Amino acid sequence: MANYLDALSVLILVSSFVLVANKRISSYIATFRLQSLLIALTAGMMGLQSLRLEGRVDVLVVGLLIVSLKVIYIPNLLNRTFAQVEYRVEKDFFLNIPLLVLICCGLVVFSYFSISTIAGINAGTINMQVVNSVSVVLIGLLFMISRKKAIGQMVGFLVIENGLFVTALFSTHGMPFIVDMGIFIDMITAVLIMGILVFRINEKFESINLHELKNLRG
Amino acid sequence: MGLFLLAVTGITAVLFLLLPGRNLLHGLSLAASAGLLGGAGGLTREVLRQGQVTYPALGGFFYLDGLSAIILDIVLLLGFLVSVYSVGYLEAEFRHGQVDERRLGIYYFLMYAFMFTMMLALTVKNMGMMWIAIEATTLASAFLVGFYNDKLSVEAAWKYVIICSVGIAVALLGIIFLHLSSLSVLNPPQLLDWTALYDQAEALQSPILRLAFIFILVGFGTKAGLAPMHTWLPGAHSQAPSPISALLSGVLLNSALYGIIRTVAIVNKNLGSSAFTGRLLIAIGLLSMATAAIFILTQKEYKRLLAYSSIEHMGIIALAVGIFTPASIFGALLHMINHSLTKSMLFLSCGTVLQKYGVKEIARIRGVLSLLPVSGPVFLLGLFAIAGTPPFSVFSSELSIIGAVFAADRLLLGAVFILLLALVFMGMALSMFRMFYGGPRGKLVRGENNLPGTVVLMLLLAAIAVTGLYLPPDLQQLLLQAQQIIIGGQAHAG
Amino acid sequence: MNPSSYILIQILTILAVAPLVNGIIRKSKALTQKRQGPPLLQMYWDLYKLLQKSAVVSETASWIFTATPYIVLATAVAAAVLVPVSTLIIPAGFPGDVIMLVYILALGRFFMMLAGLDTGSTFGGMGSSREAMISALIEPSILVSMLTVGLIAQSTAVGEMMAAMKLVTAPLLHPVYLLLFLALVIVLLAETSRIPVDDPATHLELTMVHEAMVLEYSGRQLALMELGAAVKQLVLITLLVNLFLPHDQLLTMTGSGAVLLSVLLYLLKVVLAAVGIAVIETSTVKLRLFSVPNLAALAFILSFLGFLQYFVLGR
């Protein structure tokens, strides 16, 4: 069982790498969908395990919720929001993609060394799972700051939330149920609000290139 | 009673969307905020008497102690004053054609939803729920920042949402680690409960707790406008409608600091000393003050300048919390109150100035004192007040903080602190004071447009003048209660 | 088993099966595209036809051009000896080292690049430079992956690696092996010139890499080049499937019957791998040349992460 979870946590990490290595907007959304599916799978497996051992259904319910929200609803929402924007492929970057991928690798090493020095998370398997999950958060952050289009920031934010959820899942077997629910509601609302704001940005600035948003500096 | 407050806010928020007619909306807002203020007064009295307010029947969902009572009082007091001001402000906007009736309803809806989320953040015991409420404050205020829907507002709203959401996500990582550190100690019903965490603080796992603190500091610090995560603040506070800026600066920043303070209490109790948290808080506090001092010198818009001043004062509070002696905590809490009152007074008077002149740049405004017979002097005195001039309240709280710094043998820190305060004063004086003198250009008419607002301004001015000299005993007792909660040591009063 | 019979079995099996793999891939691609496609044994007929024709050689070509097809085939066959098709036939102490494997293949590739430049045609030079870039970017991934497996197996001999992997239950569910497997799949696609790195069926100037280098060859020299490429492809597939999908632990009997069964299972795995490659080829597009570094970086990171996970987990 622990093997499956290990493999899943690694696949989730790999999906975040694939996200950073991508240039097409439709690929961002598809990779996010894949990652959410993997996370839902993880939550489902842990939920079944906790159901068998402790009789708790909350992790399982949360897993189902992820499937409906992050795998189905949000990617469709993103696709619809960005259907009107002309950009399909991002063309210029601050740092080129191979360098970004190498930096992501550095982030994984960094989170490994930071977390392994903390006593208390030293039980072998949890260690690597937590490191992978925290790395997903850091990679999401890197993704957000390395992209110049608004969709990059939205997807980056969602990846960060994904990473946080897996961290909670692997280290503490999920947060208290009501907290999880609240987090989901927050996240959905945030995505909706960001979507509306992107629409307004597109209206006012005629593009979703965030470099245009430079009037409020200094 | 406590739940009643939350319910009232929630219901009125929704009602704003449904009611037609400006007068009905204004009336509802005034009634609701007055009722909330009364409720706050009642709750505070109970807290003074019993030490905390909680309803066991709900499993500890609602919880109000000295610390949260102070901040809740600020929220509801300013909420009331801002809604009074808003009546006149929105009427003037309506006359100029900037808003129509539907937008008015949306404004009130968003404002009360915003107040609801802030009240929620302050009245829950569960750190996870607190996180959710603080994230919700960002979402509720996003469209308030972008209310005028022009290029700059949309840009400000976008940066606000993105930076604060990322910050809050980092804070969530901190909360997850906080949860992790307590797994071996607490049982499921008590997980993430602040009181349970605080009681068992020594049993929590220190290394994980330290990591949790760093993330929570960075995360909630983003929301509180501490440097270097402050970049959203000048834009958001300057683009929002002025009454909302008053709420954002005076109330929201405090709520974010509240989260940090709660965590600091736990961590310091666990580690047994404030060295770890103190170092981080003092560093961030000084950095915020320095950033504010530098940027204030180059500001061309008055609202942005005031926003940087908010960053400075949040830095002061963070620094005082970092020192973590009883006197400095007392000073920090007092400063929270004083800063909120003074800063909101300033933003409200900015609103009056903006409505009169129609421009945001300092260079294009002259003769405020002659054109606005009441708001003008209030604005000027407010600038003196926020920069720390006696006899205003900000001076007395800054003085007590400086005293605490020197009493804790941090002489170099105290010197740097005073230096930065002086720099900020200079910056503000150089930039702002020429707005007030000289004669008005163009065909602007002398006189106040926003009568209720002017009354509010005068009330606030009186408040900050009085509290600078005399601290009401009830307030003092409340502050002492809050101080005990944070530092511990003595038993709870009552 | 003594070394000479081992070598014989290896060479015969791999030489015989290599063109079939190409046939399977092409047929699967055609079927997914709702075409009939060429027959499975088509490459055998092509090789037979080409071997009977004489070669036309440019006047400006040197000995490198004529020597390269033999070198390519020789290195491919030498590599084939190093990668056993079944762990049951490995002679004791056989020194089939993985680093030698990588660099034998690199030798063949080096001569192919030189031959592309040798004729002085522009297509050849262009193909060579592209191939140089791609192979340089891919090489770290294969080395890191193989050395990690070597660390786990405590040896760099491919045979011993395969024997060690036999003992792991469900390797693909294990995070380390999963990552290495994914990295090696990308390496396989790059080394065998498949989509998304290079299109084996195109002769457009913009898109050729491997095809550009063999463009000038004809007759029996072309047959040797094609066979060499097919053998190299099968060697890499063998490496992949035998390491990460070991089958020998399922066999309970011993003796020559076991060997036969093992080889049959191996062939089954090869067929599955070929179909898998075809599916990947059909479902992705060929990357533009300057996007290939992105893919190569991804492969490297996957292999490095695999190493890191092994380093942390210790198993």
Q: Could you tell me which chains touch chain C, where touching means 3 or more CB pairs under 8 A? A: A
pLDDT value, residue B489: 54
Give residue B449's pLDDT: 72
pLDDT of residue C67 exceeding 70, the answer is yes
Q: What mean pLDDT do residues C255-268 have?
A: 86
Q: What pLDDT was estimated at residue C104?
A: 93
Confidence class for position B493, pLDDT limits 50, 70, 90: very low
Contact A213 B239 (CB under 8 A): no
User: How far apart, in whole angstroms, are the C-alpha atoms of residue B177 and residue B171?
Assistant: 10
Cα atoms in the 13 Å half-sphere on the side-chain side of B140: 27
Chain A hits for C304, Cβ within 8 Å: 105
Q: Which stretch, A169-173, B88-92, B438-442, has highest mean pLDDT?
A: B88-92
pLDDT in tens, C207-225: 888 888 888 898 999 999 9
CA diameter of chain B: 72
Neighbours of B37 (CB within 10 A): 19
**Average pLDDT of the segment spanning C261-275:** 91
Write out pLDDT tens, residues C127-186: 999 999 999 999 999 999 999 989 888 888 888 888 888 888 778 878 888 899 999 999
Task: Search chain A and give the residue with CA nearest C307.
Answer: A109
pLDDT at residue B491 greater than cutoff 50: no
Q: At what angle do helices A2-20 and A124-146 cross, to 10 degrees?
A: 20
Interface of B with A in 201-230 (CB under 8 A): 205, 207-208, 211
- Can you give the pLDDT at residue A119? 57
Q: CA torsion C146→C152→C157→C163, rounded to 10°?
A: -120
Q: Is A213 within 8 Å of B155 when comparing Cβ atoms?
A: yes
Q: What is the mean pLDDT of residues A195-216?
A: 77
The residue segments making up the domain with residue A122 are: 2-212
Q: Please list the residues that pair with B193 across neighbouring strands.
A: B126
The one-letter amino acid code at A114 reads S
Q: Domain extents for chain B? A: 2-487
Contact A97 C312 (CB under 8 A): no
For helices B101-122 and B22-50, give the axis angle rounded to 10 degrees.
10
Contact A104 C301 (CB under 8 A): yes
Q: What is the mean pLDDT of residues B17-28?
A: 79
Before B326, cis peptide (omega within 30)? no
Pairwise pLDDT comparison (B441 vs B352), residue with the higher score:
B352
Which candidate from B157, B192, B234 shows the least CB-CB separation from A197? B157
Supply the pLDDT for residue B59: 62
Tokens 């609701």 -> residue? B32
Mean pLDDT of B5-30: 80
Least confident interval from A172-181, B159-168, B344-353: A172-181
Q: Is the pLDDT of residue A45 over 50?
A: yes
3-state secondary structure of B64: strand
Query: How many domains does the structure of chain A reveal?
Result: 1
Quick: pLDDT tens for B271-322.
888 888 889 999 999 999 999 988 888 888 888 999 999 999 999 999 999 9
CA–CA distance, B187 with B174 (Å, rounded to integer): 20
Given pLDDT bands bounded at 50, 70 and 90, which one contains residue B494?
very low
**Closest by Cα among C233, C155, C221, C220 to C187:** C233
- Give the pLDDT of residue B382: 87
Higher pLDDT, B213 or A203: B213
Residues of chain B in contact with residue A141, where contact means CB-CB under 8 angstroms, are 166
Q: How far is A186 from chain C (nearest CA, A)?
A: 32
Mean of pLDDT values over A140-169: 87
Give the closest of C178, C297, C313 to A124, CB-based.
C313
Q: C77-101, pLDDT tens digit by residue?
A: 999 998 888 887 888 777 778 899 9
The domain tally of chain C equals 1
Say yes or no to pLDDT of B107 above 70: yes
B51: number of Cβ within 10 Å:
16
* pLDDT recorded at residue A96: 82
Q: Do C175 and A23 touch (CB under 8 A)?
A: no
| Assigned domain for A114 exists | yes
The residue range of the domain holding C212 is 3-313
A216 and B152: CB-CB below 8 Å? yes
> Which of C295, C298, C312 has the CB atom closest to A127's CB atom?
C312
Classify residue A49: in a domain, yes or no. yes
Q: Minimal Cα–Cα distance from A96 to chain B, Å?
A: 23
Q: Is the ipTM of this complex over 0.85?
A: yes
Over residues C280-294, the mean pLDDT reads: 86
Phi-psi region of B159 (alpha: psi -120 to 50; beta: other; left: phi over 0): alpha
Mean pLDDT of B115-122: 88
Sequence-separated (6 or more) residues with CB below 8 Å from residue B234? A216, B295, B304, B307, B308
Lowest mean pLDDT segment, chosen from A142-146, A211-215, B388-392, B405-409 = A211-215
Strand partners, C157: C97
Query: Which of A27, A42, A92, A97 to probe by mutation at the C interface, max C CB count within 10 Å?
Result: A97
> Quick check: is A218 in a domain?
no
Chains B and A touch (3+ CB pairs under 8 A): yes
CB contact under 8 A, A108 and C314: no
Most confident of A165-174, B175-184, B354-363, B412-421: B412-421
Q: Which residues of A touch B169 (CB under 8 A)?
A: 137, 157, 160-161, 164
CB of B223 within 8 A of CB of B244? no
Please report residues of B whose CB lies closer than 8 A to that of A153: 162
d(CA C177, CA C162): 13
**Angstroms from A4 CA to nearest CA on chain B:** 23
Report the pLDDT value the prediction gives residue A218, as an integer from 0 to 100.
63
Quote the CA–CA distance of B65 and B42 in Å, as a whole number. 13
pLDDT tens per residue across span C225-243? 999 999 999 999 999 998 8
> What gap in Å lies between CA A69 and CA A179, rounded to an integer?
17
pLDDT(A26) > 50:
yes
Q: Compare CB distances from A18 to C172, C298, C308 and report the shortest one's residue.
A: C298
Contacts of B159 in chain A (CB under 8 A): 213, 216
Rounded to an integer, the average pLDDT of C269-294 is 89
* Distance to chain A for B184, nearest Cα, Å: 10
Instruction: Evaluate whether C302 touches A21 at the Cβ level (below 8 Å).
Output: no
Biggest CA pair distance of chain A: 57
Looking at residue B273, its pLDDT comes to: 80
Interface test with chain B among A126, A179, A208, by most B beta carbons within 10 Å: A179
| Residue at A151 is within a domain | yes
Report C:276-305 residues touching A (Cβ under 8 A): 291, 293-298, 300-302, 304-305
CA of C177: which chain A residue's CA is closest?
A7
Region B72-87: mean pLDDT is: 89
